[in-house]
Amino acid sequence: MEESERESESERCSAPSQTSEQQTTIETSGQKLERGEDVVETKLDISSDKFDPLLALYSPKVPLPYPNIKCFNNIAEYESYMKGGRGRAKPENVEKRLRKAQKGKADPERIERLKKLMVNNPVEEEEGEGSGVKRPPRRQRKAAKNVLTRMPLHTGSPLGELNRCVQEKIRVKVHIRTFKGLRGVCSGFVVAFDKFWNLAMVDVDETYREPLLGQALYHEKALTVTRLFEKLKVQETVALNAVERKGGDNLLKPDPHSSSSQLRDQTRRTDPKHTQERSELSEKDRSTSKVTQQSESKPKVKYGKVHTRHVNQLFIRGENILLVNVQQD
Amino acid sequence: MEVSHSIRERTIAENSLVILLQGLHGQVTTVDLRDESTARGRVINVDAFMNIRLEKVLYRDRRGRMSSMDDLFVTGRNVRYVHIPDHINIRETIESQLAKIHRVRNFGAGGGRKEYSKKK
């Protein structure tokens, strides 16, 4: 279009020349053309008043204001040039590349930095967990989450109740399970716990029953806490009786021997580790305590004896806990 | 006293009471097993899953027979009790173990080794 404009312009310029004679017309047309070119040049000159941008975009040679200026094909190219572009040799990039190249070599500055981060003396730590991060504090350290901080988090749930027992040092009774049913009861103070109900306890009194074996297990009624403690009482009374009547053992032996020979055999078979005392006790059971036999369903204390022991500090794996009973006063 | 090299095991230990057992490295303790047997020996190592390694062990099986072993490995699930020696302070042991983990974690100068890559 500009071409046509230019042509039309030159035509217009040359139009009046056509009216005059040929030579003059040629001359004048030449002059006119020159004038046309001049006009075009001023139009292409950026600093002139008559700058025509449309003309400049399409003309083959536009004089550049600065001789060795960098030319771009579009604005995007210019933009990326201004941003630095990829692989531009900016001073920071150069340094980074150099550093990467020397990665393996020992760098004294890096060693210094690492040394500052190391904590040599554990006693110097402020709290149990703080290790004094020497890095410049970029952002707030996230709140430490460990087993101790998680203990108070369970408020409102049963574990929160357990936490209360820890804080207020309330004595609890922990029921321990065997694969089927109750094994025994641990009574003590909880010092620490976790979400698996693993417990760390102190001052523990454990009352438990040895597991039954074989047919007894099959036939046995489920053990409950009350029955457990009844058994314990019975055992204790029987033991007392045994101590009292130690003198009269020999007299009593032949009588129950015939009647309870079967039971005695059973004793020997199931519990080879039984001492003399215990077999005596069982005989005593048969011969003396009819009353006690009636009060309990299974008074035979040959196996499955109830034991008590005291442990100062005990760790219980949560898997074995049936329930925890808070002992309120 | 070494902390586990695995980040996964460290976090599991950090958030549970296994860390108390890890503080017993080198102590002589009794471990009561699920099957009513007991093992008394020196704790070599306890991992995050409560697997316990003991040495110079006096093992009493559930029938009461005693035997001694140089090395015993107990799977975590088979543990019922661990008797903690009287001279050990539970709270302090837990705190010192947590401090060790904290130290090991921060030593990596931030942006250290990652167990799982973050690529999506």
Cβ of A145 within 8 Å of Cβ of B15? The answer is yes
Q: How far apart are alpha carbons A282 and A252 in whole angstroms?
A: 12
Q: Collapsing DSSP states into helix, strand and coil, what is residue B26?
A: coil
Cα B86 to its chain centre, rounded Å, is 18
The model's confidence at residue A128, banded by pLDDT at 50, 70 and 90, is very low
A128 touches B: beta carbon within 8 Å: yes
pLDDT for A185-230, tens place per residue? 999 999 999 999 999 999 999 999 888 777 777 777 778 888 888 8
Q: Which chain B residues touch A311 with a CB distance below 8 Å? A: 81, 83
Interface test with B, best of A315, A319, A320, A322 (most B CBs within 10 A): A315
Amino acid at B3: V
Could you list the pLDDT tens digit for every one of the 120 residues in chain B?
Answer: 678 889 899 999 999 999 999 999 999 999 999 999 999 999 999 999 999 999 999 999 988 899 999 999 999 999 999 999 999 999 999 999 999 998 888 876 455 566 666 665
Cβ of B17 within 8 Å of Cβ of A196? The answer is yes
Whole-angstrom CA distances from A69 to A65, A66, A87, A327 are 8, 6, 21, 91
The model scores a pTM over 0.80:
no
Q: Collapsing DSSP states into helix, strand and coil, what is residue B17?
A: coil
Q: Cα-flanking dihedrals φ and ψ of residue A172, to 5°?
A: -125, 155
Cβ of A198 within 8 Å of Cβ of B17? The answer is yes
A316 touches B: beta carbon within 8 Å: yes
Cβ of B109 within 8 Å of Cβ of A117? The answer is yes
pLDDT for A12-66, tens place per residue? 555 544 444 555 555 555 555 555 667 777 777 778 888 888 888 888 877 777 7
Q: Which chain A residues touch B31 with a CB distance below 8 Å? A: none
Cβ of A148 within 8 Å of Cβ of B98? The answer is yes
Handedness of CA A46, A49, A53, A56 (dihedral sign): negative
